[in-house]
Amino acid sequence: MQQPQQEQQQVRAEQYQQQLPQQPQQFQQQLQQPQPQLQARVDVPPQQLQPQQSQQIQAVLPDVQQSQQLANPSGSKQKLPYQKDVLWGFVSTAKITNKMKKAVDESSNGRVTSIASRTTGQAEDWIKEHMEKGEEIMAYGSYEALYNDKDVQIIYLPLPSGIKKEWAMKAAHAKKHLLCEKPFANAGEVQDIINACKQNNVCFWDNTMFIHHPRTKEMMSLIKSGELGDLRHIHSEFSFVMQDDENIRLHKEVEPHGALGDLGWYPVKAVLLCVNMELPTRVFAAATFKNNVVQSLCAILYFKDPNFGATVHCGFNSTLHQSLKVSGTRKTLTVNDPFFPYHHDPFEYPKVDQTGVTHYHLRDSEGRLETREVRASKRQEVNGVEKFGELMLRKMHGHLRPELEQKYHTFSLNTQKVIDALEDSARRGVIVDVK
């Protein structure tokens, strides 16, 4: 039987998740804007491209192929010989699970078989609303009951930071592979979760989906190729106006990092992605606070190279904006929707028609602007759950390369380390070493 405090935490957790999908009106307007028609840069046979375009693609193609081979050594696009449907269990009936249910449904290798809520009735209501014809989904009235389901292989855990570690650790000890929503309470908890997953031979990821978009992969390959020259500065930001003063994301006991954890996670992760997950040596942050959590924050990230640095911004008090700018000695790369492409609705899934078209821009030292187009055959959420399912299967059969698994662990841990340091700096008003 649950203790009253634990039950109250779960109630607040599900209230928190119910509030996540709320979005500002201007987001809908931006989502409706038509995309310009541009010459495709990806998924076009090289013989149909201009010579210069073909050379540019060939310059980064080896890096893309190497990345693909790391995840799929066989190079095959077909299911693995031992692959069957990956069986998912969802913790919580929050609205964010609606989006992930669609992603699993659209994936080539997974299906949702069970969902848990605080009561069996709530779980059954969710199933009635979201179950497709012919599906069989089990309803559980407690999280423990879901963890005891021997058929479930992957747990999707969207609980807030205040209670995330407890249920993540229980999932690992139940031998369930774990896809966790970000952020976490602190880096120590991330390390504890990683250690528990390693001890129980299960996979762990945080659910940051923009890294699985083909545009992100192309941009990272471009940076690695040296087309931008030597990197000098990166700036990234994510913000929107939080109109609900009672929103659970402004409650420190549930989400201790406020806007820094909820939104700042994305620009911090984008910066680390651009520098191959290298940690900054020091950070300095200035923030405004509401209810004793970060409402908005601006920060400087210092790295070992004295000629390179980064800045990030996040906030619940400025209009919807997301961006990434990477400046080098030869070119600057910019993208106006790096985390949730505006041709997809990041909260209601799907809300607008999928076009699969995204863009990024390059400007050289002479001021010449080039816009490149990347077409995505699948949503980034679908790519993410498919890849996690395949990694799980490879791990089960001893085919998962340890360096690939370690890469994702390090990425989650380093992102949270920076979040922790930024929080510390903002509260104390001093430059803080990143440990």
- pLDDT > 90 in the chain, percent: 71
Identify which of 186, 177, 170 has the alpha carbon closest to the alpha carbon of residue 205: 177
Query: How high is the pLDDT of residue 85?
Result: 85
Note whether residue 31 is domain-resident: no
Q: Which residues pair with 285 in a beta bridge?
A: 299
**Residue 44, domain member (yes or no):** no
pLDDT tens digit sequence for 226-285: 999 999 999 999 999 998 888 889 999 999 999 999 999 999 999 999 999 999 999 999
> Is residue 226 domain-shared with residue 341, that is, in the same domain?
yes
Residue 217 has pLDDT above 70, yes or no: yes
Q: Is residue 97 located within the same domain as residue 193?
A: yes
When pLDDT is averaged across residues 407-431 and rounded to a whole number, the result is 98
Last residue of a domain, one of 182, 206, 230: 206
Token pair 């031998």 is at which residue?
175
CB atoms within 10 A of CB 309: 17
Tell me: do 259 and 379 sit in the same domain.
yes
Provide the pLDDT confidence category of residue 55 given band limits of 50, 70 and 90: very low
The burial of 290, by beta-carbon neighbours within 10 Å (0-12 exposed, 13-18 middle, 19 or more buried), is given as middle
Q: Is residue 407 part of a domain?
A: yes
- How many domains, in total, are found in the chain? 2
Q: 73 in a domain, yes or no?
A: no
Contacts of residue 47, defined as CB under 8 A and 6 or more positions apart, other chains included, come to none
Domain final residue pick, 206, 235, 262? 206
Mean pLDDT within 128-152:
93
- Tell me whether residue 30 is in a domain: no
pLDDT in tens, 80-90: 444 458 999 99
CATH of the domain at 180: 3.40.50.720
Nearest to 267 by CA among 325, 188, 319, 346: 325
Cα angle 181, 185, 190 (rounded to 5 degrees) comes to: 70
Q: Give pLDDT tens digits for 320-368.
A: 999 999 999 999 999 999 999 876 544 443 344 456 788 999 999 999 9
Answer yes or no: is pLDDT of 24 > 70. no
Angle at 34 between CA 31 and CA 39, to 5 degrees: 125
The pLDDT value recorded for residue 332 is 98
Residue 134: which pLDDT band, with cuts at 50, 70 and 90?
confident
Question: CA-CA distances (angstroms) from residue 201 to 26, 204, 377, 394?
Answer: 44, 10, 32, 12
Residue that is last in its domain, among 183, 206, 229:
206
pLDDT of residue 344: 53
Tell me, what's the pLDDT at 131?
87
| Predicted pLDDT of residue 32 | 41
What pLDDT, on a 0 to 100 scale, did the predictor assign at position 73?
37
The pLDDT, as a whole number, for residue 57 is 32
Whether 116 and 221 map to the same domain: the answer is no
CATH number of the domain enclosing 372: 3.30.360.10
Q: Which two tokens stand for residue 131?
A: 């179950």
Confidence (pLDDT) at 52: 42
106 shares its domain with 150: yes
Strands (E), 124-176: 138-140, 154-157
How many C-beta atoms surround the C-beta of residue 25 within 10 A? 9
Rg, Å, the chain Cα set: 21
pLDDT band at 1 (very low <50, low <70, confident <90, very high): very low
Domain assignment present for 142:
yes
CA of 373: how far to CAs of 127, 343, 355, 360, 403, in Å?
38, 13, 12, 7, 31
In a domain, 1, yes or no: no
Is 42 part of any domain? no
Q: Residue 391 — φ and ψ, nearest 5°?
A: -60, -40
Q: Are residues 86 and 176 in the same domain?
A: yes
Q: What is the pTM of this model?
A: 0.81
Q: Are residues 341 and 276 in the same domain?
A: yes
A 10 A CB-CB count for 176 gives 24
Same domain, residue pair 185 and 219: no
Nearest-angstrom CA–CA distance, 7 and 27? 34
* Per-residue pLDDT band at 157 (split at 50, 70, 90): very high
Q: Are residues 178 and 299 in the same domain?
A: no
Domain range enclosing 202:
80-206
148 and 223, same domain (yes or no): no
Q: Is the pLDDT of residue 9 over 80?
A: no
pLDDT of residue 100 exceeding 80: yes
Q: What is the pLDDT of residue 10?
A: 55
User: Which one has a higher pLDDT value, 51 or 275?
Assistant: 275
Do 165 and 242 have their domain in common?
no
CB-CB contact of 270 with 223 (8 Å)? no
Please tell me the distance from the alpha carbon of residue 79 to that of residue 86, in angstroms, as a whole number.
Answer: 12
Contacts of 202 (CB under 8 A, 6+ apart): 172, 175, 176, 177, 178, 392, 395
Mean pLDDT calculated for residue range 20-26: 40
Q: Is the domain of 304 the same as that of 344?
A: yes
The pLDDT, as a whole number, for residue 7 is 53
Task: Indicate the average pLDDT of the chain.
Answer: 84
User: Residue 342: what pLDDT?
Assistant: 78
Paired with 79 in beta bridges are: none
